[in-house]
Each structure stands twice: as structure tokens, then as C-alpha cells.
A and B are shown apart, each in its own frame.
Chain A
């Protein structure tokens, strides 16, 4: 007679809230970026546009924690002020893309067969061009500027959202609860608004958090190419392209905006993926 106790591998369960250190760091960093975007004047030690009297290319330390750039402007302050255009770009472009994608996806998912194939073939064509390239095309046609850059980035990511919404719409419109609502005698438009739309865009809302990060880096890329924010304004992509001219003098001018962009995109993506992981865990 033998007694025994065996323990099989205990896997982390998705339902339990388990805060990994990476997640906490990402959350903290995003909080700092949001704070910088909302109240830069509280966080930045100097005016980001003020040309300093102490001189250009100052090393870090002293009155300027991260030194000064070629015009003697405080790099830290410019980095802090750069958070707002980046976030506006990320959130704005994603909001436009999600709205456009949802409308197109719903129209395709609910419309006639002809409407659907027209929309979807158009989307296939657009999807075959890389997103950044497409954004470049749009901005070339519309002209440079931060608002145009935002619309360009948004336009380029509409197709991927539209595809997801269409697929979800197909699932939801055939679901039993939509039939049940129809069976109650509720108007079709009401059923779509109450049941189809909210359930079809659920996965998109989660995915869009990851999209915010992508849009920020795309926006920075456009600014880097001189197609986004107008030069004197503090913007990470613009700071990067500016600093590149002086990389042999002062590599710090390149490093600071690069790190800012990388960490922001990384943190937002980490949070977005966690959100997606949880929503998938719950739905099954």
C-alpha cells in the first residue's frame, strides 16, 4: 500500500491578475508619458523652445539634466514636450482608423454580397501596400503637416481594422442572441446598434491599444522624414532627424528621442498585449 502525492505542472492562469514586473514598469512609463503630454510645464525644467544662453551641445549635468542641443535648447524639456504630439498622433490616428475601419467592416459584414466584395477587394488592394509607404503616398498628395500625418497614418491602418470588424460582424449577425432580439420584433437598425456593433468591435478595441504604439512610431517616422511636425516644435521624430546631423558631435541628441520613442511604443504594446491576453482568456 503506497500513498503518494503528485503535483502536475501549475500553469499561470489568465483569469488571475498577476502583475509581472514588466507590466508594472510599462504601466508606470505610460503614466509618465501621459503626465508629460497633459502638463509638460510641470515636468520640464525649461522652455523647450528657449535658446539657452549657456551654449549649444552642453553635456548632461548642471542646469540641463540631459544637456542642450545645437541651438542650446534643453533636451530634457524638449523630450517632455515631445510626448504630447506623439500621443495625439497615436490616439488620434488610431481613433480615426478604428472608426473608419468599423464603418467599412460593418458595411461589408451587413451589406449585400456586391457591397461586401467591393469593399473587401478595395481593402485587399490597399493592404498589399506597406502601411508606411501608403502613409507616404497620402501625405505626398495632401501635403506635409502634423494633422495630415495623423490622417495618413490612420488611413493606412483602416484596412486591417475593417477586416477584423467584418469577420466579427459575420459571426455576431448569425449568433443566437441577434436572432433572439430579431424574434422579439426589434427594428433591424436597433438590433445592429444594440447588439451587432458593440459585440463586433470588442476585439478591435483591445487590438487598437497595440495600434496606438504602432501609430506613434509611424508618426515619428513621418516627422523624421520632415513630413510631420513643423521644425521648431518639440517632436521626437523631428528631434531624431535633427540630432542625426550632429551624431559625431553629440550622440545624446539621437539617443534621447530614440529611447523615448522605443520605450513608449514598447510600454503601450506590452499593456495592449496583456489586455488582449485577458480578453481572450475571458471569452473562452
Chain B
């Protein structure tokens, strides 16, 4: 009995650079294998090569590449087309980008059926309904006629999965299938993928998140720099990792960690050991407060949609307030109201006791310095023409540093504060890695000498190990500078780790708020419980964790 998929010595090179370097693995029928690694580890290229889509300029070499006992090494593009969609289904990360925006999803799903089967038009339509139903899409007839942009992220991903499984493939490849989804939706999609796998088909899932695959995979292969550094059953790899890289990856997952401990295992001598977590001064006056905020935006049909309703919060110096919620919950709008970038319909925002709306435009402008923001995507928050020097220099100008040696010295000082050095001064944002860009963004926020930094999903676009370093950096800086953070994230693990107090938001309202330990240990609202249950845990196969986040 041959394996469903057999890969030996797979090497893919682009212009002489080996992106995948001697990867070997097998996948049996009825099995789920997970390829795990950070960006640039070669996991996606490996998967794409398996369906003959390595990309332009790719030099592919394999000692053995067999699918269902057939040698596919000599396949031409024409031969591949008969296999793709029919015997191998492919689910990509971004359903919105993968689905044709100009076609109803039903037609998209029917396409592989038209290509690979002899079903009539009516039979195809019936099969599309059946497929949509099987992936848990409510009202399949209605949804099939809708366009991708009219569907929610979860429904889009389901539609994409439906088109991938339309022809009952033997092998399903899923490349980061849940990365773009909210936590509760991600869990549903993962369970769906798990249920699709039966005794005669196999599932290969690619993810950067060990916790996500732990839920699904039978075996895990950890990739780094184009090689598989560790492979084994999911339990063995997660419970008893052998390779230091696997250990570092596991250590970097915030939900597996105690609050107040460092996540990153990387040595960074420039930053001193963190001070013990300071208790936020309970009696201090709030540096930022909001009372009864309300904001609505006109929808496409002209009817106002309420984005934020009756939100109140306070933030004191040296404290971190987490806001957690899924997309559309109003957390970003709340942040924009606090920053004075939007004007609330009702309620007031008090910065050090002064209401935004009580200020003249000129006073408001000079006030802005006191509240800074770190965005999810740092690259787009820098002027593309600016070097790091100018990016930070501009913020220093606002804080009253005139152009000259003092400003230059302070820029270098700030770079060192975020564990970069003067060597980065002349770089442009495009020449930095994701983590370095976020460090520069933090340095710019600090340059303005603010009392509050709003972190809007600051680590969501980063790899786990880089995410760990940024979270550690933010904690260090707070301990040293007593700056207050408003920490917005959809990731409960991250929010739990970073925050002192937390607000849970849904549909523009605050459902629950309080000390982060209390809320996570004893959630009062059903939705909070649902969110907590959706946190991907590393120890799914082990005994239930003794504490809410699986740590003591």
C-alpha cells in the first residue's frame, strides 16, 4: 500500500537561492500533516510545488515526488491541470483575493465541476448547493448567487473550501486557511477541515501557528530556512520538542505563558532585564478617559450604522488597557475617537481631564502629541520616501527638538531603546524586516513623548517569535517610561499577556470589563466564554489546563 503523497529530497531554488532545501515527508490516507514555520521558511513554496505551481523562475528538483503512487516529477502544466482541482484541492489564506470578485461564488464552485466532471448544468447547481451545505453555509441557494465581497470572511473561506473539495479530491492542501479569520470563525473552519478528511483522503495544512495546527494535525513538520528541522506526531513535537527552534517557537506563544514573563528567548544585551511588573497606581488621575462614546457612520444604503455605542473607559499612567473583540466590534473606531481622529456623536474623551471637543483646532493639534499610535501595518504608516532618521526626526520635531545634533543624538538613543542601532538611520522602511519596522514605529511613537500609546493590533502581522520580541519590548518600555498603553487585539492570548485590565467588545458595545485575570478566569458574558474557548491551545490532547490561559 503506497502513501498518498511521498516527497523526498525536494529542492526549489529561485535565481540560485535555495528556498526549499531537501524536504522529505510522506502523507498517508486519512492523515493530517501540518507544515509549520515562520515567514520565509519555505512552507508555502513547498505546498505550491506539490501542485506544480512553484512559480516563475523556480528550479525544482526532487529525488522522489509521488502522488498516489504516480510519479509526478515529469508532469507538464497540461497534465497538472487535470490533477489540480480534481484530485488535489487547494485552499489559500486570503479567500477574498482567491475568489473572482466578478463572479457569484456559486459559479466559482461550479467551475472545477465543469472542468473535471461530466455533470450537466442542473446537476452542477445541485452539487454546489450540497457542497455549500456541507461546509456549513446557511441558505446555500442565496449565498451561491452572491459575490465574494458580499460574504463575511468566514463564509468566503467556507466557499473557497467548498470549491476545493468540489470534485472529492484525494488530497486537500490548506495554506494558512485561518490566518485571516476571527478566532471563533477560525475554530469553526478548522473543525470543518478536520471533518472533511476521511479514510481515503489526506490533508496537508500549512501554518505559522503551532497552536492552530495542534487542534487538527496528526503529525507536525517544523520548517526553518527551507529545511524540516523536526517532525513527529503532534503530541510528541508539542510536549517534548527536540530542536531548539521548535522550543523557541513554542515558547513564543503568549497563551502558553505566564503573565509578566519574557516571551522571547533571544538574548538582547542592550535592553536591561525587565523590572518587576509595577502595579498601576490605583489612585492616580486617569491620563485618558472616555465617557459614553457613541459613533455611527452612514452605510452604503444611507442608513446610519452604529459603530460604537456607550463606550466608557479610563487609563492611568503606566497601565495597559486591553480591548479585545473580533472584526467589526468597534475597537478600532474607539481608538480613533480616543485619538481625536474622529469626533464622537455623543460622549466625551478626556485627555488629562480636558475634553477634545472643548479645544480649539490649534490647541487640538498641539494636544495630539500626547497620544501616539502604533499601527498593525507599520510599513504603510511611514512615508515611503523617508529614511528611519527622518521618520523619527519628524516626531522629535514635534516634541521640541530642533534640527541638529541634539535631534540626531536623541534619534540614536530612541533606536537603542527599541534594540536597534545607528546603523538603521539611513534605511528606508522597505529595507527593514517586519519586526524592525514595528520597532521603528514604536520609536517614533516614543519620540513624541506621549502619555498614552495606542497599539492597534501591533503584533498581528508578525511571526510568533518576532511578536514575542515586540511584546517584550513594549513591556520593558512601560516599566522604564511609565507610558500607558491601550492595547487593541483580536488575539486573546496576546491581550491577556500584555494587559492589566481588559474590555471585551462586540457590535460596538462593551460586554464586559475588569482585571484581565478576573475576566479570563471567570467570564461573565457568554460571548467572552465563546471567545476564550476559541483560543487555540497547544495542549489540546493533554489534560485541560488548570488556569484560564493554560499557565499558572
User: Hey, which bits of chain A sit against chain B, CB under 8 A?
Assistant: 1-11, 13, 175-177, 179-187, 194-195, 198-199
Whether B58 and A177, one on each chain, are in contact in the complex, defined by CB atoms closer than 8 angstroms, is: no
The answer, among A1, A13, A184, for a CB contact under 8 Å with B398, is: A184
Q: Digitize B377-397: 1 where CB-to-A-CB distance is under 8 Å, 0 elsewhere.
A: 100111111000000001100
The answer, among B56, B60, B341, for a CB contact under 8 Å with A10, is: B56
Q: In the complex the two chains form, what is the Cα distance from A182 to B385 in whole Å?
A: 17
Whether A182 and B383, one on each chain, are in contact in the complex, defined by CB atoms closer than 8 angstroms, is: no
Minimum distance in angstroms from A4 CB to a CB of chain B:
4
The verdict on B59 contacting chain A, using a C-beta distance below 8 Å, is yes
Whether B373 and A183, one on each chain, are in contact in the complex, defined by CB atoms closer than 8 angstroms, is: yes
Tally of chain B residues near chain A (CB < 8 A):
37
Minimum distance in angstroms from A279 CB to a CB of chain B:
12
**What are 16 inter-chain pairs, A to B, with CB distance below 8 A?**
A1-B63, A2-B74, A3-B62, A4-B62, A5-B60, A7-B59, A8-B57, A9-B56, A181-B383, A181-B394, A183-B339, A183-B368, A184-B394, A184-B395, A185-B368, A185-B398
Q: In the complex the two chains form, what is the Cα distance from A187 to B398 in whole Å?
A: 10
Q: Is the interface of B mostly helix, strand, loop or mixed?
A: mixed
The answer, among B60, B61, B380, for a CB contact under 8 Å with A175, is: B380
Minimum distance in angstroms from B66 CB to a CB of chain A:
10
Q: In the complex the two chains form, what is the Cα distance from A5 to B11 in whole Å?
A: 10
8 closest residue pairs by CB, A with B? A185-B368, A176-B380, A176-B381, A4-B73, A185-B369, A180-B381, A184-B398, A177-B383
Q: When A and B form their complex, what is the total count of cross-chain residue pairs whose Cβ atoms lie within 8 Å?
A: 87
Residues from chain B with Cβ under 8 Å of A195 in the complex: 383
Of all chain B residues, the one with the shortest Cβ separation from A9 is B56
The answer, among A7, A187, A194, for a CB contact under 8 Å with B365, is: A187
Whether A184 and B369, one on each chain, are in contact in the complex, defined by CB atoms closer than 8 angstroms, is: yes
User: Hey, which bits of chain B sit against chain A, CB under 8 A?
Assistant: 54-64, 71, 73-74, 339, 341, 365-369, 371-373, 375, 377, 380-385, 394-395, 398, 444, 448
Whether B54 and A8, one on each chain, are in contact in the complex, defined by CB atoms closer than 8 angstroms, is: yes
Of all chain A residues, the one with the shortest Cβ separation from B53 is A8
Minimum distance in angstroms from B388 CB to a CB of chain A:
14
The answer, among B54, B63, B341, B383, for a CB contact under 8 Å with A183, is: B341
Whether B368 and A182, one on each chain, are in contact in the complex, defined by CB atoms closer than 8 angstroms, is: yes
Q: In the complex the two chains form, what is the Cα distance from A5 to B61 in whole Å?
A: 5
Of all chain A residues, the one with the shortest Cβ separation from B74 is A4
Supplied contacts A7-B59, A181-B394, 20 more A-B pairs, CB within 8 Å: A1-B63, A2-B71, A3-B61, A5-B60, A8-B60, A9-B57, A11-B56, A11-B57, A177-B384, A179-B381, A181-B383, A183-B368, A183-B373, A184-B369, A184-B372, A185-B365, A185-B366, A185-B398, A187-B365, A194-B383
The listed residue with most B CB atoms (<10 A of its CB), out of A176, A185, A194, is A185
Q: In the complex the two chains form, what is the Cα distance from A187 to B382 in whole Å?
A: 17
Whether A177 and B59, one on each chain, are in contact in the complex, defined by CB atoms closer than 8 angstroms, is: no
Whether B73 and A2, one on each chain, are in contact in the complex, defined by CB atoms closer than 8 angstroms, is: yes
